[in-house]
Amino acid sequence: MSGDDWKSIINQILYGLMFTPQLDDSTAEQMAAAMAEWRYFGTGPDVYADAIVQARRYDGPLTDEIETPHGEAAFREFLGRLGASLEALRPWSA
């Protein structure tokens, strides 16, 4: 993934959480399953996993482009859980 392409992928995740009240383990597991099964997240699990890694390394804001009820710290924490849940589902089918 080149440049800031990962940011648009992270924004897809953030947008998908707009009406999700709790960013808990269950939400992370459900979203990871949807990514691994190519449901709702049609770009594929590899792209999301890579974007999550890049976002977690990024020291700038992740919630600045989409209005969300979730704060920066809560979203970053959720990305950690989502990334772990997604990795636990490897190998993914193409």
DSSP H stretches of helix in 1-94: 5-16, 25-36, 45-57, 72-88
- Domain coordinates in residue numbering, the chain: 5-13+22-88
Closest C-alpha to 81, from 22, 26, 25, 39: 25
pTM reported for the whole predicted model: 0.92
pLDDT tens across 6-63, in order? 999 999 999 999 999 999 999 999 999 999 999 888 888 999 999 999 999 999 999 9
